[in-house]
Chains A and B, each alone.
Chain A
Amino acid sequence: MKQTRRIFIKHTAAAAGAMGFPLIGGAQPAPIKIGVLHPVTGALAFPGQQCREGTMLAIEEINARGGIKSMGGAKIQPVLGDAQSQPQVGAAEVEKMNEQGVTAIVGAYASAICLAHTQAAAKYNIPCIIDQGVAEQIVQRGLKNVFRFGPGYEKVVRAGINYLHIMNTVAGRPIRSAVLVHEESLFGTGTAQQIARDLPAMGYEVLETIKHANPTRDFNNIALRIKSRNPDVVIPSSYLNEYVLLLKTLKQQGVAPKAIYSIFGGGGSNPKVIKENPGDVDLVLDCNHWYNPKNPKSREVRARAEKKGLFFTHEVLMAYTVTMMLGDALERAKSSRREAVLDALQASTWSDHIMPYGPTKFVNGQNEGAQPLVTQYLKGDVKVVLPNNFAEAEAVFPARKG
């Protein structure tokens, strides 16, 4: 083609436009869409909303400090989804999020929803950052798009029993028998099955394992059964409402075991629960997700959450932390392409977080360094009591003479 003056001017203008406008537009690069998927209505609405709040807390922090710098300060734009406390709805939300072009999805609190939504997201290669979802199946299906930052129930149960054994040994072995109470879904059943398998190996007798429905309206019969078994320790693994109702009923029926030690107790380490029911839950121990209280950043994040009127529960802190981890991965990926983010997550060695984990290292989607802490309701708050290198207070164990 002959280069005329007119064509030259046209091409130059186009090139200048292509180079110049991005410079102007570069002040505001396209936002990175992140799916925020939780059960914010239905039976799990409260923990689900807590998770959403935690995620939003992190997104606000990332955006406030200038967005993803490696992408010209691109802001994170949340795409909110509601799993309505049902796995199939969670999977359907993934389809919508895919159509909206999300780079990754943070979610989805309950194990059953996580199983469904990660499967749906795998079709589109969408990275899924799991904020809670403790069932082991979530990371055992060989899906390359799943990254669980926190520990699964196998690790938590092993650690939980180990810590119980340590406290018991130090106290002169006042505890020899246990009754397990658990909710009926994947998380409670899986947790309780493993406790029932592992506890006898450490020399404890499991007198009975009691499963309950969600919701359970009345715990009186369960309390009576526990009373007739007279265990030294009661180990509940339930969601928040049932957990609190169970503990209230135990108190009413005069069931006072030497200790109540929950593993993933839905209300065992929740500042709201101790504030509202001090008489019912005082001295209850819980092995669960919790932040490193020795890290000054933890207090800062907790203060920020509480300033927003939030109770700083483990749902909030886990969702907050995993979203910050995603922010770190986006920074290193330098791209909002899903493949690049998957690679960045796989190579993650992030350590600037508030959890007691050390740098992240993903093997088959599981962060190897993740571990739970043991907390106790002491003086109206949640205090870490084990392991010693994170402890803020000494455990009161056994809580009662029984």
Chain B
Amino acid sequence: MLEPQILWPALLNGLTMGAIYALIALGLTLVYGVLHIINFAHGSLLMLGLYAVFFLFKFWKVDPYVALLALVPGMFALGYALQRLVIGRGSHGKDENILLVTLGLSIIIENLALHFFGSETRQIETAYSSAMVNIAGASLTVPRVAASAGALTCCAILWLIMARTDLGRAIRAIAKERQGARLVGIDVEHIFAMSFGIGLACLGAAACFLLPAFYVSPQVGHTFVLVAFTVVVLGGMGSFVGSLVGGFAVGVVESFGGLMLGESLGQIGVFVIFIAVLLFRPSGLFGHKV
């Protein structure tokens, strides 16, 4: 079963799937790093992004990659508004409240989607959905390769923002010392909302890269959210490089786990990683000790 002609494509499959996981996890890790909260609505917001891409394609024939131009700013604005108007206000300054607010948001978003969009699974058919690229004997779909490139680019852009801009410095300052940042004049609420917005912008990008190779239904968020949490825990909460490495690692482990243990049992590898990291290195591969 484990001939090289299967192992090599399985490795590439794992890496490309991992890139998509990483892209989804980027937003999660940013929000955690700054706001110190786990955003339970992450999966539901990804689902909203996927529907946006789907409807743009269906009604206006907007190519999913062109839709990036609308989705990234659109999701950013949604994220900013959500944090400013709903999460920030609803939490009354307590982190545990934020957990509940995001959990509530996810339930509301999911059920609204079920009501307005229906429960059916929808897909889009683009000219390149089934197009293949041959990489040293392994066939990969064009959307997968594009998603990997997109994930790496997003990660690089985020790194640049964090390292080179005032916004990035402010975000890092708040992540490290919220009170201190406020004392030196940083508008903490604004930066919180910016972080949430950037996190959702990443989700918007992920939705554009994901839909040509996947499907959307009101429950689709659940398919990815647990894996995204695993990636964040593995990479280290709040670390972008960690997200990228974690995403690739989880993708490859899932791919080989599936190959060796069967696709059903193969998922076990992902959760073994989750538990092992929590037990032996709770801060993750690239995380800092709190």
Contact = CB atoms under 8 A, between A and B. Distances in A.
Interface in B118-141: 118-123, 125, 130, 132, 139, 141
A241 B121 contact: yes
A228 B10 CA distance: 13
B259 interface: yes
B219 A252 contact: no
A385 to B, nearest CB: 26
A241 B217 contact: yes
A275 to B, nearest CB: 11
A184 interface: yes
A45 B5 contact: no
A92 interface: no
Given A248-B130, A252-B141, A276-B125, A220 B263 contact: no
A222 B261 CA distance: 12
B6 A46 contact: no
A265 to B, nearest CB: 15
Contacts of B255: 218, 220-221
Given A220-B9, A272-B120, A43 B219 contact: yes
A40 B217 CA distance: 13
Interface residues of A, number: 37
6 contacts: A46-B120, A212-B263, A241-B121, A244-B215, A252-B132, A280-B130
- Nearest first, the 9 closest Cβ-Cβ pairs linking A and B are A45-B119, A212-B263, A46-B119, A211-B264, A220-B13, A184-B264, A215-B223, A49-B119, A213-B264
Contacts of A212: 263-264
A49 B111 CA distance: 14
Interface of B: 1, 3, 5-6, 9-10, 13, 17, 111, 114, 118-123, 125, 130, 132, 139, 141, 214-215, 217-219, 222-224, 227, 254-255, 258-259, 262-265, 267
Contacts of B259: 221, 225
Interface of A: 40-43, 45-46, 48-49, 184, 210-213, 215-218, 220-222, 224-225, 228, 240-241, 244-245, 248, 251-254, 272, 276-277, 279-280
A241 B215 contact: yes
Contacts of A184: 264
Interface of A is mostly: helix
A240 B217 CA distance: 12
Given A241-B121, A252-B139, A218 B215 contact: no
A84 B130 CA distance: 34
A389 B6 CA distance: 45
A384 to B, nearest CB: 24
Contacts of B120: 46, 272
B6 A224 contact: yes
A216, A218, A244, A280 pick with most chain B CB within 10 angstroms:
A218
B217 A228 contact: no
Given A213-B263, A225-B1, A225-B6, A218 B17 contact: yes
A7 B114 CA distance: 62
A85 to B, nearest CB: 9
A41 B114 contact: yes
Nearest to A249: B141
A279 B215 CA distance: 16
